[in-house]
Amino acid sequence: MSLPNAPTNDTTLNIPRLLCFHGGGTNSKIFKVQCRGLEKALRETFRFVYVEAPYISYPGPDVVQVYKHMAPFKGWLRWRDEDELRSSPEAVERINAAIKIAIDEDDKEGATGEFVGVLGFSQGAKLAASILYTQQQLREVMHERSGWPPFRFGILLAGRTPMVWLNADYDGPIGTVDAAAVSTAPTDHLPPMLDSQKLSVPTLHVHGMQDPGLPLHRKFLHNCCDSSSTTLLEWDGSHRIPFKHADVDQLVQEILKLARGT
């Protein structure tokens, strides 16, 4: 894709848009705060559109310490056995409705830029990748459209297996789970994804080297994504969004490189 020149005013209404998915146990407002450094650095290139998850959730790790005043906390997928039970069709419907609300609200604000990519953190990275994956399979195997914008790339920060199948009309490919599953459950029982069915949409994987979940993030990269379409960025951080200038700058350069290649 071609990237825009710097705008002559403060508006981002006509530049390409990224659909952004927060982690489990937070919400879109918290994610906007967490991404403030990244969004500021990319403000002349992308407009960030934050989606609010549809389900009330137990707060994520360390969320209450900083963001207690920003409740309620939300989630996309079940991540504890005691989380509210739901059917896969219902979960898919509510996720799609949340996406539509975010897009419609941004359109009403006057935004006209094309949605070109997805960005997600933790559970939101799993969801963002699963959207790309479901869209890819529907297009290439079922020869159908997904109903989402035709995303070209994904920015996945601390994503983990398994890939979630987000379509209620067809069974998911080998190695995926449905949207009603506990997203943090062990995946050893799942058969491996076929190489021919891995995610091949270009993705940037961002891994914090101090993140306790690093082995799971690496497993997601290698087991679910075609190596020819992935870029890995490792940084000296834990389970969070980079916010120091040097870390953000490195991430920005990789995002721009990814976008220009699509």
Torsion of Cα atoms, 160 then 161 then 162 then 168, to 10°: 20
Q: Which of 205, 211, 217, 247 is the catalytic position?
A: 211
Please say if 169 is a catalytic residue.
no
Distance of alpha carbon 157 from alpha carbon 216, whole angstroms: 12
Distance of alpha carbon 28 from alpha carbon 51, whole angstroms: 6
Token representation of residue 238: 């834990």
Q: Which of 57, 217, 239, 247 is the catalytic position?
A: 239
Token representation of residue 47: 């407009």
Please say if 122 is a catalytic residue.
yes
The DSSP secondary-structure symbol of 170 reads S
Q: Which of 28, 57, 88, 122 is the catalytic position?
A: 122
Please say if 28 is a catalytic residue.
no
Which stretch of DSSP H or E encloses residue 214? helix 214-224
Count the neighbouring beta carbons within 10 Å of the beta carbon of residue 227: 11
Distance of alpha carbon 162 from alpha carbon 176, whole angstroms: 6
Instruction: Write out the catalytic residue numbers.
Output: 122, 211, 239
